[in-house]
Amino acid sequence: MFVKLTGTDRTPTVINASQVTFISEVNAGTRIRFGEGRSVTVVEPLAEVMNRLDHTQSFRET
């Protein structure tokens, strides 16, 4: 499932929720990391990013 967020340069950014490996809060917003050292920083706060990703149901139950 894809999630649309806003990049720090105010452009729409679409991410594949199933590829997210790590999320952290940074000064500019929230950094979302993927495999192979790729990342994107979005302006949405960490709680909002987590909420949007949670609604995709792309994560396995543990």
Condensed to tens digits (0 to 9), the pLDDT of residues 14-35 reads 999 889 999 999 999 999 999 8
* pLDDT, tens only, 33-54: 998 889 999 999 999 999 998 8
- The residues that bridge with 50 in the sheet, in sequence order, are none
- The residues that bridge with 34 in the sheet, in sequence order, are 20
Say how many C-beta atoms besides its own lie within 10 A of residue 27's C-beta.
6
* pLDDT, tens only, 7-16: 999 999 999 9
pLDDT in the model for residue 1: 86
pLDDT higher than threshold 70 for residue 62: no
